[in-house]
Structure 1
Amino acid sequence: MSLDRRLTPATDRIALASLRGILDRPDYTPGTPARLAVPLADLLNAPDGRRDRQVNFGADATVIDRDGDWTFVQMGLDGYCGWLRDAALTRDLPPLTHRVTAPATHVYPGPDMKQHQMHALSIGARLAVEGIEAGFARLATGGYVPLPHIADRPATDPVAVAELLIGTPYLWGGNSDWGIDCSGLVQAALSGCDIPCPGDSDLQRAAFPEVTDIRRGDLLFWPGHVALALSPDLMIHATAWKMAVILEPIAEAIARIDAAGDGPFLGAHRPR
């Protein structure tokens, strides 16, 4: 049976127990819960392989297999599967209460912005907040984050979330303020509003119904590319053309992409 590798929680040796009878493997596992404990990590197609996507701090995962220092996981956000260094994961899972809503923020050793920061977190990072002190959130995992940079409830407008990332450098497979690609931008925008969204543009196109008109929040597709409509005439996207997240008139983008031989425009789809 042929299954999409990106969404199939199985290696050649072992598969998630839910695939028993569907996928033939020497062994099966119920999986072990884990969570990303570093600010950002590449999710690879093989141990020490190519980056498929990235995952942010606090992202939940199910551990399926190990290979030396590498761990094969399925991510809870979108079901994407791949390899992470085991040292990037923790099995300590305090309840997640907040998310980073600013493009990026710093984690400090105490509730004081003049202290040396410990590390930075990107938009979409999930946090376990256990208290509030002097305008900072105290994290169960250690450190303090400024309260204006986080929220305990989802945003309501994916376009507004995407606009926070205007100017972010383009990065193939990127999913953070330090670098993002077209499907990563769309996923960050939708997941920031608790709208389930796959990680790659072809999966995103398949996930949402096609529409004949274009409204704010619609997804616009080309082969291997996706943008988010701000209006019937304007869109935002992470593009290798400018190596950044930019605004571009939709008609101009259609004409430019067609002229470059990267078309045709495949239409608009509307997230539910």
Structure 2
Amino acid sequence: MDRRLTPATDRVALRGSGIARDGITEGRPMRVSAPVADLLRAPGGARDRQLLHGADVTLIEERDGWGFVQAAADGYCGWIVLSALTDERPAITHLVMAAATHLYSTADFKRPEQGSLPMGARLAVTGTEGRFARLAGGTFVPLQHISDHPAEDPVEVALRLIGTPYLWGGNSRWGIDCSGLAQAALHGAGIACPGDSDLQRDAFPVTDTIQRGDLLFWPGHVALALDPATMIHATAWTMSVITEDIAAAIARIDAAGDGLFLGARRPRLDDRIAFP
């Protein structure tokens, strides 16, 4: 079993998973309350991915201030600090679609910001006041930065993150990796997408041609085609999100010994996730 998608620790398994453990649990529905929270492979261990504000999870086990969870959006499992979770789950209505946004105590952009949220954060909007949306927690966010419907083009979503610093396992404007960028782009368009590049490669059908929106793969790396000749990706080569000529990237990555180009896959535009 792939540990990333296995809803069980060494002690407890989620009921219905078919996994035998001494403890079986129904799980507890929770939601990420922090702007961004690391999803770790062990308590205090290495980061696999990140979960964003408003992400729904099932809490499977608690241990010494950590919780083992499964993310609702893509099934990814891991450990998250319990202080980043809440059991308050008002109805989600909107998604942050700008690269990032600020939270305010009142509907006034001249007031000091109360915090920040990245693209992909899920919000419970309870009303509007001028150019701001009021959130269930009482803070306000600019209406221009949020949406209650998916983008039509995942590439356009990815382009909003140009210049974002590279971060292994990152999923936000404050740091993102190649598979995090691909998932952010597709999720922003309401298209289902796994969390890691190998899972993404397995999820989508092969295409012999390259068109806008296709995913391009190397061993351990993924990019998103802007057109048949150009791509966008988060790369440790520049430690940032950049656009690059596809042919030049294939030659550069091959010359560096990082592996041959594995071809393109085409996301299924009819495979939708709940939005937001």
TM-score (norm 2): 0.96
Structure 1 segment 4-19 matched on structure 2, within 5 A: 4-19=2-17
Query: How far apart, CA to CA, are the structure 1 residues paired with 2:252 and 2:34?
Result: 39
Query: How far apart, CA to CA, are the structure 2 residues paired with 1:23 and 1:40?
Result: 30
Matched, 1:216 2:212: yes
Please list every run of 5 or more consecutive structure 1 residues that lacks an aligned counterpart in the other structure.
none
Give the deviation of 1:7 after TM superposition: 0.4
Matched, 1:238 2:246: no
Letter in 1 for 2:109: M
Matched, 1:84 2:86: no
Letter in 1 for 2:6: T
Letter in 1 for 2:28: T
SS in structure 2 of the partner of residue 230 of structure 1: strand
Letter in 2 for 1:214: I
Give the deviation of 1:42 after TM superposition: 0.4
SS in structure 2 of the partner of residue 78 of structure 1: coil
Matched, 1:181 2:183: no
Query: How far apart, CA to CA, are the structure 1 residues paired with 2:110 and 2:9?
Result: 47
**Residue of structure 1 equivalent to 2:274:** none
Matched, 1:119 2:95: no
Query: How far apart, CA to CA, are the structure 1 residues paired with 2:137 and 2:213?
Result: 35
Structure 1 segment 44-193 matched on structure 2, within 5 A: 44-193=40-189
Structure 1 runs of 4+ aligned residues shifted over 4 Å read none
Alignment partner of 2:196 out of 197, 200, 209? 200
- RMSD of aligned C-alpha atoms? 0.6
Which digits, 9 at most, give the CA deviation of each residue in 1:30-55, with x for residues without a partner?
11100000111100111111110011
Give the deviation of 1:142 after TM superposition: 2.6
Which digits, 9 at most, give the CA deviation of each residue in 1:176-221, with x for residues without a partner?
0011000000000000011010000000000000110001000000
Query: How far apart, CA to CA, are the structure 2 residues paired with 1:120 and 1:142?
Result: 14
Query: How far apart, CA to CA, are the structure 2 residues paired with 1:24 and 1:62?
Result: 18
Query: How far apart, CA to CA, are the structure 2 residues paired with 1:267 and 1:123?
Result: 28
**Residue of structure 1 equivalent to 2:272:** none
Matched, 1:30 2:18: no
Query: How far apart, CA to CA, are the structure 2 residues paired with 1:259 and 1:227?
Result: 18
Which digits, 9 at most, give the CA deviation of each residue in 1:57-94, with x for residues without a partner?
00000000010100000001111001111111010100
Query: How far apart, CA to CA, are the structure 2 residues paired with 1:152 and 1:211?
Result: 31
SS in structure 1 of the partner of residue 222 of structure 2: strand
Give the deviation of 1:140 after TM superposition: 0.3
TM-score (norm 1): 0.98
Which digits, 9 at most, give the CA deviation of each residue in 1:74-116, with x for residues without a partner?
0011110011111110101000000000000000011011111
The more displaced of 24-33 and 234-243 is 24-33
SS in structure 2 of the partner of residue 118 of structure 1: strand
Query: How far apart, CA to CA, are the structure 2 residues paired with 1:75 and 1:239?
Result: 25
Give the deviation of 1:269 after TM superposition: 0.1
Give the deviation of 1:24 after TM superposition: 1.5
Aligned positions, number: 268
SS in structure 2 of the partner of residue 246 of structure 1: strand
Give the deviation of 1:27 after TM superposition: 1.5
Alignment partner of 2:261 out of 261, 265, 268? 265
